[in-house]
Chain A
Amino acid sequence: MTPHVILRTHNLSKKYKDRWAVRNLSLEVHRGDIFGFLGPNGAGKSTTIRMILSLIRPTEGRVELFGYDLKSHRSKALSSVGGIVEKPDFYSYLSAVRNLDLIGSLNGGVEKKRILEVLDVVGLSGRGGDKVKTFSHGMKQRLGIAQALLSDPELVVLDEPTSGLDPQGMKEVRQLILHLAKEQKKTVFLSSHLLNEIELVANRMAIINKGELVVQGEVKALLDEGGRYVVVEGEPKAKIKAVLKKNKKLLEGFTERDGSFDVKMDFDDVPMLNNALVKAGVRVTALVPRRSLEDFFLSITENQGKV
């Protein structure tokens, strides 16, 4: 294994009866990455994470963590991994501190000081003595992140950590993830069904759909790969067409579709195009920057809804 690859899956597959939940999935997570693992609901993200964290046995393929095969060297492979899988559940009749103390014992034991530290990191320092059953979903989510950080792992696996949170909570978790990567030098494996969320925090990502890998690479490169374009909507359409034809140097080309125009161009030039349209007397109703990967992800998400 290349030294900087700390998580690798080799043709990882999981079959339930006649259905493949995950099929031939090969991922590579590098040290220092915030790796976005993106896919619509039911794509196989959680099944993959469960296999990575040894909750589920793969039907085929294998997982390597820090160079250790998960099946044959489970303890060594998981010794530098912390994680949260789906919704955060705890022993609700125990306090947050007691929960973390027990979890710490499973990781070799942690000092009280460390428990208080991680509670502080996730903003729960004043609630450590309270029973978890009194916590809101957002607080449990943060406690989930705290337990994932407890043993100071190098790799933190977070399965939809913003799920069920309000916008402010989502923002706080995103900031926390960035803090973990930048300040604490953690590698973060982050699953989400929101491209926007991955784009905001991740440097590398993989998209999974129907259990299979669609694409994997640098976030920026993947988002730029299929090109960028701007959707232009307004009236009258003849004037829009005229402006687009007149500005051929600025624009890389355009197509008319369903009463709007897809204009291939640099996003930095959008204000200039808007100005030209307004000057020509166009009543602009929309100028929407779009990327083909975003469209693609949107299409698989929409198609899933139609099933």
Chain B
Amino acid sequence: MSLIPEFFRLLRVEMVKTFLKKRTYLGFLIILLIVPLVEIALKIEGGRFLRMAMRGIAQDFILLGNVFNGWFVSLQIMNSLWIQIPILISFVAGDQLAGEATGGTYRLLLIRPVSRTKIFLAKYLTTVLYVVLFVTFLGVLSVGLALLLLGSGDMIVLQQGILVLPESDVAWRFVMAYILAAWSMTTVASIGFLFSSFVENAIGPIVGTMGVIIVLTIITVIPVETFSGIREYLFTYHMASWQKMFADPVPWGDIRSSVLNLAGYIIATLTAAWIIFVRKDVLS
């Protein structure tokens, strides 16, 4: 009998299966292509992008120093990629359970003398680890490369106006923003996990997760009175809470509320997925 505790053995099994699968790295590959491409293009374009972004308000400001810098570009990348990232996350999360059904390997996995609950937790933790690695990779690559290409400086934030954050006040905001982003993506992964628990093919969870995100995003952003009462309970309303890290002062109360809302979704979807998984008849 191995000395390694059972749960860690299960975790190792799930990690080996996930991280030796080529499709796990598809998201990393896409990020590895897109981020340098966009950042190099922006470097070539120079400050034209910033001037376009500031059209209409530029005459009110005199900008000195290197404001079209790595911090500014990293934030634009984070903003623009936030639609595609959930697809890449659901690609792996959705495969965790449904992939076993598709491959027929539930029959290998679930006849062992270990509880389904432990297998479920090992799979979920592996998914969370993937999310963390993926978001970290995105953060390190986009910020690191942007700073390397475009240098550092004070950061301009264009949200509902213009805000200039001093250079010394930016790095920690990015770290916190990426932690919050990872939390949002963990919520997406949990929804993918739920879909993954009751379908027999890995495409269903990807389509299902994206469907939910699209529908709820529409409800979140569409200016219709009917939805105003439910809007703030939808996870899509809180998914971009990381953007609040670039406000001054940081609205910690709002962020805490978003984190708790997303936690509620994680707990609810995981509980539902767990119940389905442990009661599931394996017919594949």
Contacts and interface: CB of A to CB of B under 8 A. Distances in A.
Indicate whether A and B interact: yes
B109 interface: yes
Interface stretch (B8-16, B41-49, B123-131, B160-168): B8-16
Query: Which interface residue of A50, A76, A102, A103 has the most chain B CB atoms within 10 A?
Result: A102
Interface string B114-133: 11000000000000000000
Interface in A75-113: 75-79, 81, 83, 85-87, 89-94, 98, 102-103, 105-109
A202 B116 CA distance: 33
Contacts of A83: 111
Given A50-B282, A106-B10, A55 B107 contact: yes
A53 B111 CA distance: 5
Nearest to A92: B103
A9 interface: no
Interface of B: 1-2, 4, 6, 9-10, 12-13, 16-17, 20-22, 103-115, 279, 281-283
Q: Is the contact region of chain A dominated by helix, strand, or loop, or is it mixed?
A: loop
Interface residues of A, number: 32
Given A91-B17, A94-B20, A105 B103 contact: no
Nearest to A89: B104
A78 B105 contact: no
A90 B104 CA distance: 8
Q: Sort A-B residue pairs by CB-CB distance and give the 3 closest, nearest first.
A: A109-B2, A89-B104, A106-B112
B112 A93 contact: no
A141 interface: no
Given A55-B106, A92-B103, A109-B1, A74 B111 contact: no
A89 B105 contact: yes
A86 B113 CA distance: 19
A214 interface: no
Nearest to B21: A93
Nearest to A76: B113
Given A93-B22, A109-B2, A57 B279 contact: yes
A108 B2 contact: yes
Contact of A93 (B10, B20, B114): B20
A54 interface: yes
Given A90-B105, A91-B103, A107 B113 contact: yes
13 contacts: A50-B282, A50-B283, A54-B110, A55-B110, A83-B111, A91-B103, A93-B20, A94-B16, A102-B17, A105-B2, A106-B13, A107-B113, A108-B1
